[in-house]
């Protein structure tokens, strides 16, 4: 077993303490520690990551990179590779909260239009009873009291907490998408669950552009399509040879800052007034008002009315799945694994 230096330890600790970092942020940390730029010393950078992963494998952890399909940026993070009774003890989420998150992931994964989002009202209306299975794998009639008592208010608070912890994200149009932590941790689960892959990068295509030909099942990530389009000018479907029209995605994730860690120092004001409500509070009230007055945007627009998910049309759940939130160094890692 090779011994890691303080430089390796610092890289690991930065990911554990701060959560997933963008490629730019992680490269800046690497440069500050080693004095070398990963862009010009790619071999050195890869050697560090390889050595770190060899050591992390002994504790069932993995330093992994992924590309966020919502904004196209690359992120680095440390994920847990094991789901057992011990890892379940470290979670800060309750059983109903985990079941609520699981239902959101399944709804997004099963969306045949690959929009990669669920509207806020649909998320709040998710019935946790559909997540309760009996020993034979069918829906159980014996629903725990904790599930019945999980109110709209509890769901709203859970959504905000999952966004803050980067398991979910709010998009520009105020829908809910998968956060970077979910994208990092659920890579193998997407494959095992049969989520169609991007034709270009072979990663899960839950947020992707569909082939214009309705009879074709090919889907390509927006950033993969942009890269291909910039290289060739005109892009045709690799399966049916239908010409594709590239349009930049409209929805991008909106970062929700942790109110507990916001800087307390600010520019002094000569005319101080009453404190203003936080952006997060404004967004929360706006989502509730929109849900009460107008409903989901998919219900208002004729074009979006075509959007159908299996979970909304024919309620079902993935069979044989296990969810656990394991903790390591005060960080939470989510696992969904086939049992």
pLDDT per residue as tens digits for the range 298-333:
444 433 433 343 333 333 344 434 444 443 333 333
pLDDT single digits (tens) 68-85: 999 889 999 999 887 666
- Supply the pLDDT for residue 236: 82
Q: List C-alpha distances in Å: 174 to 42, 169, 216, 256, 322.
A: 38, 9, 30, 12, 29
pLDDT band at 49 (very low <50, low <70, confident <90, very high): very high
Identify the weakest region by mean pLDDT among 106-110, 188-192, 247-251. 247-251
Q: First-to-last CA distance in the chain? A: 31
Q: Pick the residue with more confidence: 212 or 318?
A: 212
Order of all β-strands in the sheet with 74-80: 21-22, 74-80, 61-67
Whether residue 225 has pLDDT greater than 50: yes
- Supply the pLDDT for residue 128: 85
Instruction: Supply the mean pLDDT for the chain.
Output: 76
CB 177 within 8 A of CB 122: no
- Supply the pLDDT for residue 275: 44
User: Can you tell me the distance from the alpha carbon of 23 to that of 42, in angstroms, rounded to the nearest whole number?
Assistant: 13
CB 77 within 8 A of CB 26: no
- Supply the pLDDT for residue 1: 52
Q: Pick the residue with more confidence: 220 or 303?
A: 220
User: Can you tell me the distance from the alpha carbon of 315 to that of 6, in angstroms, rounded to the nearest whole number?
Assistant: 51
Whether residue 200 has pLDDT greater than 80: yes
Whether residue 338 has pLDDT greater than 70: no
Using CA atoms of 247, 249, 250, 256 in order, give the dihedral in degrees to the nearest 10: -160
Whether residue 339 has pLDDT greater than 80: no
- Residue 297 φ/ψ, nearest 5 degrees: -65, -25
- Supply the pLDDT for residue 167: 94
pLDDT band at 134 (very low <50, low <70, confident <90, very high): very low
- Supply the pLDDT for residue 145: 84
- Mean pLDDT on 261-265: 39
Q: Pick the residue with more confidence: 90 or 186?
A: 186
pLDDT single digits (tens) 271-283: 444 444 444 555 5
Q: What is the DSSP string of 3-58?
A: PP-HHHHHHHHHHHHH-SEEHHHHHHHHHHHHS--TTT-HHHHHHHHHHHHHHHGG
Percent of the chain with pLDDT over 70: 65
Q: Pick the residue with more confidence: 256 or 303?
A: 256
Whether residue 259 has pLDDT greater than 60: no
């Amino acid at each position: 077993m090779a011994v890691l230096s303080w430089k390796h330890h610092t890289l690991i600790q930065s990911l554990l303490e701060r959560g997933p970092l963008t490629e730019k942020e992680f490269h800046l940390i690497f440069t500050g520690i080693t004095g070398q730029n990963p862009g010009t010393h790619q071999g050195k950078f890869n050697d560090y990551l390889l050595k770190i992963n060899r050591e992390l494998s002994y504790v069932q952890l993995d330093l992994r990179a992924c590309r966020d399909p919502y904004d196209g940026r690359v992120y680095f993070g440390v994920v847990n590779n094991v789901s057992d009774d011990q890892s379940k003890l470290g979670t800060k989420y309750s059983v109903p909260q985990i079941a609520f998150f699981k239902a959101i992931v399944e709804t997004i994964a099963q969306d045949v239009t690959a929009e990669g989002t669920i509207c806020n009202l649909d998320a709040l209306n998710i019935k946790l009873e559909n997540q309760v299975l009996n020993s034979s794998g069918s829906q159980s009639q014996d629903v725990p009291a904790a599930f019945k008592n999980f109110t709209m208010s509890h769901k709203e608070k859970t959504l905000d907490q999952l966004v803050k912890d980067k398991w979910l994200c709010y998009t520009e149009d105020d829908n809910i998408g998968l956060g970077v932590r979910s994208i990092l941790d659920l890579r193998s689960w997407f494959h095992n669950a049969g989520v169609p892959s991007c034709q270009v990068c072979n990663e899960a295509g839950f947020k992707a552009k569909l082939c214009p030909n309705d009879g074709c099942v090919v889907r390509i990530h927006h950033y993969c399509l942009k890269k291909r389009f910039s290289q060739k000018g005109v892009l045709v479907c690799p399966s049916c040879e239908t010409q594709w029209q590239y349009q930049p995605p409209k929805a991008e994730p909106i970062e929700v800052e942790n109110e507990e860690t916001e800087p307390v120092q600010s520019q002094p004001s000569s005319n101080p007034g009453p404190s203003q409500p936080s952006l997060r509070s404004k967004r929360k009230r706006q989502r509730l008002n929109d849900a009460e007055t107008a409903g989901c945007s998919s219900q208002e627009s004729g074009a979006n009315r075509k959007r159908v998910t299996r979970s909304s049309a024919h309620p079902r759940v993935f069979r044989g799945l296990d969810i656990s939130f394991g903790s390591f160094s005060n960080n939470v890692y989510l696992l969904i694994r086939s049992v």
